[in-house]
Chain A
Amino acid sequence: MARFVVRRLAFMIFLLAIVSIATFLLFSVLPVDPASLSCGQHCTPEKIAANRIRLGYDQPLINQYFTFMKGIFAGRSYGEGAQAFSCPAPSFGYSYYRGQCVTEMITNALPATISLTIGSAIIWLTMGIGLGVISAMNKGKIQDRVSTGLAIFGLSMPTFFIGLLLIYVFIIWLQIFPFPSYTHFLDNPFKWAQALVLPWFTVAIVSAALYTRLTRDGMLETMSEDYVRLAIAKGLPRRKVLVRYVLRGAITPIVTIAGLDIAVLLGGAIITESVFGLPGMGRLALNSVTDSDLPVIVGITLITAFFVVVANALVDILYASLDPRVRLES
C-alpha cells in the first residue's frame, strides 16, 4: 500500500510539471503583450520597454519558465531600488493590471469557492445517491419514474437558468432570503450560509442528476451479481444486502466521478459565481480573461490543474482502499 501511494504521488508531481510547461507555452504564444497592458494611460514605447524588463518578458522563454517555477517555491521580487516589491512564496506572478500578487488574489477568491464546492457536494451526493437508491429499489415503479424524471430535469436545465429561477422564487417572490452578499465564514457563519444556500442548490441540482443515474444503474447491475444472490441465500436481511452488497458494489465509480467533479468545481464555478455575485475563483477567472490579465489566468489554470491532479491521485488511492483487488496491481 505504501509503495502504491508513493508511486502515485511521484506520478502526480511529474504530471503537474507537464501541465505547468504546457500552460506556460500556451500563454507565451498568445498575441497579447503583458508589458503594454500594464502600462497605463500615458504610455510611451520607452515605458513599455522598461516594463518588459521589470516583468522579465525580455528574457528567453526557458528562463522565464524557470524564474516562474522558482517563484512558486521561493517567492519572487520585481524591479529595483525604491520601486522594488516582492511576492512571497508560493508566488504565481504579479498582476500589473490589478497591482496585486496573483497568489494573494487567488487566496482571496478561494474561500468562497471552497465553501460553494463543499456545501454543494454534500447536497448533490446526498440527493443524487439517495434518489438513485430509491430508483433502483423500485425499478419501473412510480418512485423510479419520479426520481429519474427529476434527474433528467436537473440535467437538462442550464446552470444559469436554475440559478435565476431560484433567485426569482426565493429572493424576489417568496422573499425568504435577502439578495446574497458573501460574508466570510469566520466573520458571520449565519450570513455565510444564508448567502450560499441558493448557490449550493444551483450547483447540486445540476450535478445530482448524473449521480442518480450512476447509483441507479450501478445498483441494478450489482443486483444481478451472483454474490448478491448468495447474500440473499445466506438469509441476510434486505437492508444489509442492499447496503453491504449492492450499494458497496456500485459506489466505486461514484467516488471516481465525485472526486473529479469536486476538483473541477474548486477551480471555480464560473456561471454560478457570476449569477450570485460570489467573489470566487470562477469570477476571478472570468474577470481576468476579460481584462487579458495573463499572470492571473496562468495562476488559476495551474491551481485548477493542481486540484484535478491531486483529486485524481486521491481517487486512485481511495480506490485501492475501496477495492482490495486494486492493491495487487501496483
Chain B
Amino acid sequence: MSKNILEVNNLSVSFNTSDGQVHAVDNLSFNIKAGEVLGIVGESGSGKSVTASAIMGLLTSGNVNLSGSIKLNDFEIVGAKDSEVRKLRGSDIAMVFQDPLSSLNPYYKIGVQIGEAYETHHPDASKSEVRNKVIEVMKKVGIPEVERRIDSYPHEFSGGMRQRVVIAIALINDPKILIADEPTTALDVTVQAQILDLMRDLQKTSNTSIILITHDLGVVAEMVDRVLVMYAGRAVEVSDIKAIFSAPIHPYTKGLLNAVRSLDSAIREKLATIPGTPPSLLNIPQGCAFNPRCSYKQWAGDKCLVQKPELHEIGSGLTACHLSKTDIERMNKDELPVV
C-alpha cells in the first residue's frame, strides 16, 4: 500500500453569519493515497466545495471557524501562514473549477494565464522557458494548433477548450493532488466525456491523486476508485466504487443511486427521488441529520432522532448510520419498514 498523500482529520468548518452559525463541515476525516481518485458526492450544500476550499487553504476570512487537521505530506495546512500555503497552491495542490466560461480572466491571453501559474512558482524561469512549458502542457491537455492558440483570448475558445486550459493551468506544475470541483457540470454531455477521459489519462500517466467533487454518480462511476458521500457537512459513507454501486451501506447513498435513471428503465417510469430537502445548515436536525428524509429509520428506532451516528466499518466500507448490518442487507433487497 502506498503512503497517504493527504490526511484530513476531524475537520470542522463553520461560518459566522448574521443569521447565526452555519456548520458547513462537521468532523470530517478522510485520506487519499498517491495516484488514487477519490470522489466526494453529495447534494448542494453538503460541504463538498467548502472542504475543497479548506484543503486549498482559502478559508482565511474573519468569519470562518476552522478546526481539525489537514496534512499534505506532513505539512499542516490548518493554521499555517498564508504565505506558506500560497507556495503549495497551484504547485502541490491545484484546482479545477466548475464553470470554465468564468474561470479564465477575459482580459489576458491564454498563454499568459497558463504561464503565470508556472512563473509564480519558478520566479527564475526565463521567458522562453515559460513559453516552452506552456506549449508543452497545452499539447498535453489536447489543445490543437497550440502555436496559434497560445495568443488567443478566452472568449475565442469553446467551453470544452476553456476547461482544457483550466486543466493545463492546474497541471503545469505537476501537482500531487488535483481537486476538480464539478469539472464537467457546465459542459455539454459529449464534451463532459472528453474532459473525463482527459483527466483519467493524465492521472494514469502522472500518478497525480485526484479529488473529484460532483453530484453526478455517472461521473463517479467513470473514473473514481473510492467514494466519500457527504450529507449536511458530514461523511455518511466511504466505500470502494464497486461496493457503492452493488451494495450501498447508507440509506442516503441508496436514495442517490435510485435517483439515477439507468438505460434499461422504462421510458415513462417516474424517476425516483429522495423525499424532502437537505436541511438548512443553520438548523441541522438532532440525531442523524438525514433522519427526516430516511425511509428506514423505523428499523433503528428512536436512536436516529437523538444520537449522531459515527462512522464505523460495515463490510469493506464505512458508514455513519444506526442501521445494523442485517438491516442494510434488507434495504439492499428493496425491503421497506412497515409503517
Contact = CB atoms under 8 A, between A and B. Distances in A.
A42 interface: no
B155 A232 contact: no
Given A232-B58, A233-B95, A236-B120, A245 B90 contact: no
Interface string B58-99: 100000000000000000000000100011111100110111
Contacts of B97: 226, 229-230, 233
Contact of A234 (B82, B89, B153): B89
A323 B166 CA distance: 21
B105 A227 contact: yes
Interface string B40-62: 00000000000000001010000
A249 interface: yes
A232 B97 CA distance: 12
B169 interface: yes
A225 interface: yes
A234 B86 CA distance: 8
Contacts of B121: 235
A235 B103 contact: no
Nearest to A245: B105
Contact of A230 (B88, B91, B153, B169): B169
B88 to A, nearest CB: 7
B153 A227 contact: no
The main secondary structure of chain A at its interface with chain B is helix
B116 interface: yes
B107 A233 contact: no
A226 to B, nearest CB: 4
B104 interface: yes
B107 A235 contact: no
Contact of A227 (B88, B91, B98, B103): B103
A45 interface: no
B56 A233 contact: yes
Contacts of A249: 105, 107
A226 B91 contact: no
A226 B90 contact: no
B89 A324 contact: no
A129 B299 CA distance: 64
Contacts of A237: 86, 120
A226 B107 contact: no
Contact of B155 (A229, A230, A324): A324
B104 A227 contact: yes
B158 interface: no
B117 interface: yes
A68 to B, nearest CB: 45
Interface in B151-181: 153, 155, 166, 169
Q: Which of A227, A249, A325, A328 has the largest count of B CB atoms less than 10 A from its CB?
A: A227
A323 B104 CA distance: 14
B106 interface: yes
Contacts of A323: 106-107
B280 interface: no
A233 B90 contact: yes
Given A234-B90, A323-B107, A225 B117 contact: no
Contacts of A245: 105
A155 interface: no
B56 to A, nearest CB: 6
Contacts of A322: 107
Interface in A227-272: 227, 229-238, 240, 244-245, 248-249
A233 B106 contact: no
Most chain B CB atoms below 10 A, which of A232, A249, A328? A232
B112 to A, nearest CB: 10
B99 A235 contact: no
Contact of A231 (B82, B94, B105): B105
Contacts of B107: 248-249, 322-324
A211 to B, nearest CB: 20
Given A225-B102, A323-B107, A235 B90 contact: yes
A228 to B, nearest CB: 8
Contacts of B155: 324-325, 328
B58 A233 contact: yes
Interface string A255-293: 000000000000000000000000000000000000000
Given A226-B99, A325-B153, A328-B155, A233 B94 contact: yes
A57 B252 CA distance: 89
A235 B58 contact: no
Interface in A200-246: 225-227, 229-238, 240, 244-245
15 contacts: A225-B102, A229-B58, A229-B97, A230-B169, A233-B90, A233-B94, A234-B116, A234-B117, A234-B120, A235-B90, A236-B116, A237-B120, A248-B105, A249-B107, A325-B106
Given A231-B105, A324-B107, 7 more contacts: A230-B103, A230-B166, A233-B56, A234-B89, A238-B82, A249-B107, A325-B153
Interface of B: 56, 58, 82, 86-91, 94-95, 97-99, 102-108, 116-117, 120-121, 153, 155, 166, 169
**For the complex of A and B, 5 pairs with smallest distance between CB atoms:** A235-B90, A235-B89, A234-B90, A226-B102, A234-B117
